[in-house]
A and B are shown apart, each in its own frame.
Chain A
Amino acid sequence: MSNAWLSGTIIAFLAGSVGFFVVLRGSAFAAHAIPNGAFAGAAGANLVGVNPLVGLVVFALGAAFGISSLSRRTRSDVATALALVMMLALGAAFLATSNAYEPAVNALLFGEILGVSSSELLPVAILAVVCALGLSFLYRPLLLSSISSDLAVAQGINVQFIDAAFLVVVALSSALAVPVVGALLTFSLMIGPPAAARIVASVPHRALALSVVFSMLTLWAAVASSYWTNLPIGFFVGTISAGVYLSARGWSFVQSRRLLRALL
């Protein structure tokens, strides 16, 4: 179980910080598509018998590059949708040829709290540090280009490079999260808690900190619930994330009501 807590904490930290930018940039769809690339990678690694982490990282990066290169030809939401279904279909084909048994498939799609073994903990931690470092280097230009890409261009920032670098960070952190949270639910950890944080806090760095806190609380609650009830962790991550977001919406509604009453 200590593995589950440790890997869960690393994943939640990354998802909270990456997710802050995902929400700010409005790239929820890309954040949903990239983990599905990782899913195909895990299924493919299973088929040819290599380390699943390698498959996860390679395919998540492939999905990120696929999305950004297709985006040059068409609207980005269409590009994302096409890359997403292609990756999922590849994953389905890999699973069909490797005759994977059902619990393994479900674990890949919907998560498994013991998804990171103790031997994988070190590579996961190293990759997480790489992601965190990358994000801290990108912090200022990324923040600026997320808020106003015109302003960023005027400041001499290479916006296309920043976009691509950000997708790489999303890909790496998805690859780490997929074994635990599941391919289909990794993104909900990157959307619900950060979106809630953005509603509650108005200053960027405070929202970022709060996003990490919400994301960790969500994942810890999900790991604990999954451990006690034996139900898949993805169910808890998906519903708790949505709950956190809806609570923040409710909180801000009550706040604005109170403010209105004080003014009148």
Chain B
Amino acid sequence: MHVLFEPGLFSNATVRTALVLGALVSIVSGVVGIFTVLRGQSFAGHALTDVATAGGAGASLAAVSPLLGFIGGAVIGAGAMDAIGVQRVKNRDVATGVVLGAATGLAALFLYLITLQTTTTGSTQSILFGSVFTVASSTLPDALVLGALVLVGLGMIRRPLLMSSISPELAAARGVRLRLVGIIFMVMLAVAVGLSAIVIGSILSTALLIGPPASALRVSTRLSRAIVLACAFGVGATWLGIVFAYDSYYWFGAGHGLPVSFFVVADVFIEFVLVSFVAARRQRVLTSPAPVTSRQHVEWV
């Protein structure tokens, strides 16, 4: 037993908060992420994480709650990207890149000002790469409420969102207001990114958003099953990451553990590689040529 679970793992309050928060964030990211991958908006999702970085750094500078900063930054970023034309496919790439670049520039400024203002070090790393072990347990209720809001919101726009993700033309013909649905989804995405920023750091939150859903879509073409799988993969990666990070304090001697975010991202990555491998083998066995992740192959629910 001690091979995997070092002493005191489950009696530790910090670890318990981390496990609950990690699971919550993985579930929200998993659900939002499925739609992000289907819509081909991984870059936009990642850009929001960088805008969230600026927000988090700004919040730290102004001494307000980091969760507020992350989410506020991401929501403003979503608005900016919409304003300069992320919705039109033609300029999407460049518009996203420009917002991302400007936001990262601002983050650079804020983080530099923080180093002038305080004597405590490590704020750059804690904002960018995060640590679920340092999140105050008082953040938990806020995170729960926000996560629930995102899930309920997504549930409400589920049908038009799915239709516009798979075939925008069809959705438009059926009277779906594509732009409105797009904006609502971007706001949901922004909140999800802000939530996972407090767990694995702002620029790594892309991992939970894209990795588990991409793995899930490799093995399942049914939306409901893919969502459940994405949540399971996400929670699995996060929990394993937390356990490994806790244990790593014992591997290298006290105080020399590796960051928890590293383990979470590595788990997500390894999960994806393994799942792809299994899916590719299964496909070869069935000799079905269908590429799983293309838009057209997702069945309706």
Q: Please report A residues at the B interface, Cβ cutoff 8 Å.
A: 23, 26-29, 31-32, 73-75, 77-78, 80-82, 84-86, 88-90, 92-93, 95-97, 101-103, 105-106, 109-111, 182, 184-185, 187-188, 191-192, 195, 231-232, 234-239, 241-242, 245-246, 249
Contacts and interface: CB of A to CB of B under 8 A. Distances in A.
A74 B293 contact: yes
B266 interface: yes
A241 B100 CA distance: 11
Interface of B: 37, 40-43, 45-46, 50, 84, 93-94, 96-109, 111-112, 115, 121-125, 128-129, 201, 203-204, 206-207, 210-211, 214, 218, 256, 258-259, 261-262, 264-266, 268-269, 272, 276, 280, 293
B32 to A, nearest CB: 14
Closest 5 CB pairs of A and B: A238-B105, A188-B101, A89-B265, A110-B108, A242-B102
Contact of A232 (B84, B108, B129, B258): B108
A232 B73 CA distance: 21
A187 B97 contact: yes
Contacts of B109: 231-232, 235
Contact of B204 (A26, A73, A89, A110): A89
Contacts of A185: 101, 104-105, 108
A85 B207 contact: yes
Contact of B101 (A90, A191, A232): A191
A235 B108 CA distance: 5
A188 B98 CA distance: 7
Contacts of B99: 242
Contact of A187 (B101, B108, B122, B256): B101
A11 to B, nearest CB: 15
A32 B101 CA distance: 9
A29 B108 contact: no
A78 B125 contact: no
A86 B225 CA distance: 26
Contacts of A77: 40-43
B198 to A, nearest CB: 16
B226 to A, nearest CB: 14
Given A105-B125, A110-B111, A241 B210 contact: no
A93 B258 contact: yes
Nearest to B252: A97
**Most B CB within 10 A of own CB, among A75, A85, A102, A187:** A85
A96 B262 contact: yes
A82 B265 CA distance: 9
**Most B CB within 10 A of own CB, among A31, A80, A101:** A80
B92 to A, nearest CB: 8
Contacts of A236: 105
8 contacts: A29-B43, A78-B210, A82-B269, A86-B207, A88-B265, A89-B204, A102-B125, A239-B102
B225 to A, nearest CB: 18
Contact of A245 (B94, B112, B115, B262): B94
Contacts of B42: 29, 75, 77-78, 80-81
B265 A85 contact: yes
B211 A85 contact: yes
B104 A188 contact: yes
Contacts of B262: 89-90, 92-93, 96
Given A74-B276, A235-B112, A238-B102, A92 B125 contact: yes
A182 B104 CA distance: 11
A106 B106 CA distance: 13
Given A28-B94, A195-B98, A245-B98, A102 B261 contact: no
Contacts of B96: 28
Nearest to B258: A93
Given A78-B210, A92-B125, 19 more contacts: A29-B42, A73-B280, A75-B37, A78-B293, A81-B45, A82-B207, A85-B265, A85-B269, A88-B265, A92-B262, A101-B121, A109-B128, A110-B107, A185-B105, A185-B108, A188-B102, A232-B112, A236-B105, A241-B98
Nearest to B241: A89
B106 A235 contact: yes
Nearest to A80: B42
A242 B98 contact: yes
Contacts of A237: 101, 105
Contacts of B102: 188, 238-239, 241-242
